[in-house]
Structure 1
Amino acid sequence: MEGNLTTADRKHLEDCIGTGSKKFTLLYSITKDGCSGQAFHQKCDMQGPTVTVLYNEQKSVFGGYASLPWFLTSGAYVKDEDAFLFQLLFSGVDRLNKFPLKSDNAKGLYSRSNYGPTFGGGHDLLTFTNSLSSSNGIYALNGSISASSYDMKGLGAEHINNGSMKCLELEVYKVEDVPVPQQWRKTSKWCKELEESLKSSVSSMRPASEMKVPDFRILLLGPVGSGKSSFCNTVTSVYRGRITQRAICGKAKHSITSMYHPYTIKINSGGCLNVRLCDTRGLEEELGIDLMQCNYLLDGNLSEFFQVAQYVVHLELILVDSSFVKEPTLVDKVHCVAFVLDGATLDELPQRVIDKMKDFRNLCTQKQNNIHPIKNYNTKVELDEGVNILALQALQQMLNYAEDFMENIQQREGKALQSCEENYMSELDVIEEEAGTL
């Protein structure tokens, strides 16, 4: 961050300006650009709103805000109703004061070719005139503070700058609005009614009866510590009306989850949702689930509670395992895959884990509108409406995708059946024709 203005001071000045977030860009510094009216105007004229900040040798910080641009003139006052003076530190101690321009005062700013930044008639804050040099790093500015056009709240110079204009630095910052980020995704207003509506909608979702599949099966994949197990607990918490801890969670060097564990979700009415959230071992650089095991999980070859090997296992060992399902049905297959990532640690993911996730993703499909933010109950002790809504919206979309997957299966099986029937009828025609010939 260029300049001496701290993040806290910038935030305070934002609040004083009162029109939202601001970007502060250093335009002028007397230690870098020289202390002269000419240098100031060369750097700061016609730059829009600016903040002037002085740092004196007594560790007091003060200055002024101009909402209108500085310009070169032989001497003129500018009416700037939004201008104000301020105090940030006094003798090294926080002292946040805003000194507004008095009402109907036309002397907010004063601009002159050989003057530094100047505020008010008289002047309330005159920084310096002409050209000055430093002595042992100290600039003895020939300006002053004197109340006239601004409401100084009864404070004199001795209570603002210790009565001293001997400064270590003077800076002028360009002040710009920070664009308000566009809404990433339009969502309904959060309320209890939305939460109940989502719970009801998710509860009503089930595979088509003709598919003869009792539950949607959703596989959760992600790096160690990304929140897969916590998401299982979050969803069960939403429907149980209390914080639950069915899945073991925590921070560890390696994955705490060691098996392919499908979780059913009980609801207060006594039944269960028609979905199984399938947790499994977290992704690591060298250890844990690999591409082959992931493929078997998707195809339904690995039965529930299959112990996922910590190290890569040879194909022959998996095939002879008693829990290996050689002829899986649609009931065994995964109907939707959800990658779970911790937004706070994305930049820390090892490249080999990222590469592994890309390989897994190639087995599935992924689009930008498939991204859903969630927050888990990993630290909270009470339910939260916002956390519930995010989890329900994500789960609802997973079920929608699972439903789409089954619809495609149903369509393919329907076409295959139609093709078989057509072949069968063709064979009958041939037999009848041959019989007629005989």
Structure 2
Amino acid sequence: MTGQLLDKYMDQLESWIGTGPKIFNLLYKITRDGCSGTAFHQKCDSRGPTVTVLYNQHDSLYGGYASSSWTSNGHFIPDVNAFMFQLRYSGSDKPIKFPIKSSYTGYSLIGNSTYGPIFGGNDLTAFSGTVNSSGGYFALNGSMQPQYFDFQGLTPDKINNGNMQVTELEVYGITDGQRIKTIQQTPLPPQFWRKTLEWNKKYLDTLTEGIVSFKPPGEMGLSDVRILMLGPVGTGKSSFYNTINSVFKGRISHSASCGIDSNGITIGYNPYEVNVRSGAKLNFRCCDTRGLEINQGLDILECGYLLNGNIPDYYQFNPVLQFGPDHSSFVYKPRVTEKIHCAVFVIDAVAVSDIPPKLVDKMSNIRRLVNQKGIPLAVLLTKVDLACQDVARSISNVFTSKKIEDAVNKAANLFGLPRNHVLPVKNYENEMELDDSISILALLALRQLLFFAEDYLQVLQGKQKACNLSNEKPDNRDQLEKCNDKKE
């Protein structure tokens, strides 16, 4: 296995080292050798000058150069030539050298047997003990804090994006010599398995404006459409609403409770509204409800009541008593405004193939029920950043990722849906600031769901017109909806 440090970055490091051409020999790689202090020191101690490079999910590269050998004795290692560096930040080349301050050259490095590479005091501590990969990255337990190296006024978040999650960490041995450079080939353009317009701020604004201007068909008398979110516990139903709400609020929002619980956080039927910054309400609701489980959670009868509008807004489900017509809150004559106009299964992209068969059967029965009612059904494929490292590095890679395409195909086949009914998303979960790519992907999914609901309502409107003609033009909405119920 070879390293992934490109020749252009080796050239830059050669220039900073300043003692002529260098050969870079890969000594240590955490995806190959394991991320542990023991493995690092076995591979790197007493090997002379080295370069340590960290690669993160945001497509940033940073690290440090040591002209002295690493040791394991727990002491500081003097090194007047040591420096830290940044090569790339959030997808753009940004080479900056951070030299050791002259008064701290005796404290340039620390060699500790239970730690990985340590530069300065707290300037860069990569990790301690053993760190395992989770979801395509290593959540290193180290830190970055300017102390003995001159960070040129940059704060750590402008170097490592504010976290120590990395997809790779490599250490190269540096020796004198002429390096044989890799033949540079013109990369092939990415192959998109689903076409979209170019992702930029203008496209985000276009999507936002289109959704803000969305209105249900006028003849139905609807103020908004309802999108019902169904799916196993923990797949991100509430988080999707929070993501959409965040986009329109202009900040990260946590209006819907979410988190981890064996039986899920949501226990009620919550038809959430979405508001823009001015407070104006948009013309759709994301209807959150309790998760699907094999023997508990929402069952198919209750799902039918939700679709029909029989369950009142904000009803709290009783885990031991099924909701039904004998309940005091049962809505016997729901209006079209209270019914569901689009249903969506929310499933984890990482676990598409691991949904228990009995739960798949339960969801398939719900799919048949939704189809019988003529309501459109889609799939939100969440956590795409955990399913593919390329997508973790940049969400904009989602429609060129083979792994995500495979997950979309699996979900489409699992529920018997067209592929364009399977919509990848990445919810705001770890982020503290909005990200244009995350927002664009969420709005693409939401726009498609609104299109599905609009098409359904137009068909429903056509049925009502036909019913009017066959029933001597009833002139009130109750008659219209009663007629539609007969059609269903």
Shorter-chain TM range is 0.5 to 0.7
The answer to whether the Cα contact below 8 Å between 2:226 and 2:340 also exists between their aligned partners in 1 is yes
Displacement, 1:154?
Answer: 4.4
**Secondary structure of the equivalent of 1:251?**
coil
Q: Determine the structure 2 residue equivalent to 1:336.
A: 342
Superposed counterparts of 1:149-298, under 5 Å: 154=177, 182-298=191-307
**Secondary structure of the equivalent of 2:254?**
coil
The answer to whether the Cα contact below 8 Å between 2:3 and 2:26 also exists between their aligned partners in 1 is no
Counterpart code for 2:243: T
Q: Determine the structure 2 residue equivalent to 1:419.
A: 470
Displacement, 1:179?
Answer: 10
Displacement, 1:10?
Answer: 4.1
Cα distance in 2 for partners of 1:411, 1:154 equals: 78
The answer to whether the Cα contact below 8 Å between 1:280 and 1:308 also exists between their aligned partners in 2 is no
Asked if 1:345 is matched to 2:351, the reply is yes
Superposed counterparts of 1:90-129, under 5 Å: 93=43
The answer to whether the Cα contact below 8 Å between 2:268 and 2:289 also exists between their aligned partners in 1 is yes
Displacement, 1:198?
Answer: 0.8
Asked if 1:322 is matched to 2:331, the reply is no
**Secondary structure of the equivalent of 2:271?**
strand
Cα distance in 2 for partners of 1:200, 1:311 equals: 44
Structure 1, unpaired ranges of 5+: 1-8, 17-84, 98-151, 156-177, 424-438
Q: Determine the structure 1 residue equivalent to 2:360.
A: 354
Structure 2, unpaired ranges of 5+: 8-22, 29-40, 51-174, 179-186, 371-376, 378-416, 475-488
Counterpart code for 2:219: E
The answer to whether the Cα contact below 8 Å between 2:311 and 2:331 also exists between their aligned partners in 1 is yes
Displacement, 1:285?
Answer: 1.5
CA distances 1:215-271 after superposition (whole Å, capped 9, x unpaired)? 101100111000000011111111111111111000111111000100001112331
TM-aligned CA distance change 1:234 to 1:154, over 3 Å: closer
The answer to whether the Cα contact below 8 Å between 1:288 and 1:311 also exists between their aligned partners in 2 is no
Displacement, 1:375?
Answer: 0.9
TM-aligned CA distance change 1:179 to 1:324, over 3 Å: farther
Q: Determine the structure 2 residue equivalent to 1:393.
A: 444
Cα distance in 1 for partners of 2:193, 2:251 equals: 31
Displacement, 1:355?
Answer: 1.6
TM-aligned CA distance change 1:89 to 1:311, over 3 Å: same
Q: Greater Rg, structure 1 or structure 2?
A: 1
- Aligned counterpart for 1:369 among listed residues 398, 414, 420: 420
The answer to whether the Cα contact below 8 Å between 1:263 and 1:278 also exists between their aligned partners in 2 is yes
Cα distance in 2 for partners of 1:180, 1:188 equals: 15
Aligned residues: 269
TM-aligned CA distance change 1:197 to 1:417, over 3 Å: same
The answer to whether the Cα contact below 8 Å between 1:222 and 1:282 also exists between their aligned partners in 2 is yes
Cα distance in 2 for partners of 1:230, 1:340 equals: 10
Cα distance in 1 for partners of 2:188, 2:177 equals: 37
Identity of aligned residues (%): 40
The answer to whether the Cα contact below 8 Å between 2:271 and 2:287 also exists between their aligned partners in 1 is yes
Cα distance in 2 for partners of 1:422, 1:412 equals: 13
Displacement, 1:312?
Answer: 6.5
Cα distance in 2 for partners of 1:87, 1:202 equals: 53
Cα distance in 2 for partners of 1:265, 1:208 equals: 19
Per mean C-alpha deviation after superposition, the further-off stretch among 85-94 and 277-286 is: 85-94
Asked if 1:405 is matched to 2:414, the reply is no
The answer to whether the Cα contact below 8 Å between 1:264 and 1:272 also exists between their aligned partners in 2 is yes
The answer to whether the Cα contact below 8 Å between 1:222 and 1:283 also exists between their aligned partners in 2 is yes
**Secondary structure of the equivalent of 2:285?**
strand
Counterpart code for 1:344: V
TM-aligned CA distance change 1:422 to 1:268, over 3 Å: closer
RMSD of aligned residue pairs (Cα, Å): 3.1
Cα distance in 2 for partners of 1:371, 1:388 equals: 17
Q: With the length of structure 2 as denominator, give the TM-score of the two structures.
A: 0.51
CA distances 1:97-118 after superposition (whole Å, capped 9, x unpaired)? 9xxxxxxxxxxxxxxxxxxxxx
**Secondary structure of the equivalent of 2:274?**
coil
TM-aligned CA distance change 1:414 to 1:87, over 3 Å: same
Counterpart code for 1:306: Y
**Secondary structure of the equivalent of 1:344?**
helix
Q: With the length of structure 1 as denominator, give the TM-score of the two structures.
A: 0.56
Cα distance in 1 for partners of 2:329, 2:278 equals: 33
CA distances 1:94-152 after superposition (whole Å, capped 9, x unpaired)? 6899xxxxxxxxxxxxxxxxxxxxxxxxxxxxxxxxxxxxxxxxxxxxxxxxxxxxxx9
Counterpart code for 1:237: S
Displacement, 1:322?
Answer: 1.8
Displacement, 1:347?
Answer: 3.6
The answer to whether the Cα contact below 8 Å between 2:2 and 2:26 also exists between their aligned partners in 1 is no
Cα distance in 2 for partners of 1:335, 1:200 equals: 22
Counterpart code for 1:343: A
Q: Determine the structure 2 residue equivalent to 1:299.
A: 308
Displacement, 1:86?
Answer: 9.0
The answer to whether the Cα contact below 8 Å between 1:289 and 1:310 also exists between their aligned partners in 2 is no
CA distances 1:7-61 after superposition (whole Å, capped 9, x unpaired)? xx2455x968xxxxxxxxxxxxxxxxxxxxxxxxxxxxxxxxxxxxxxxxxxxxx
The answer to whether the Cα contact below 8 Å between 2:275 and 2:282 also exists between their aligned partners in 1 is yes
Displacement, 1:153?
Answer: 5.4
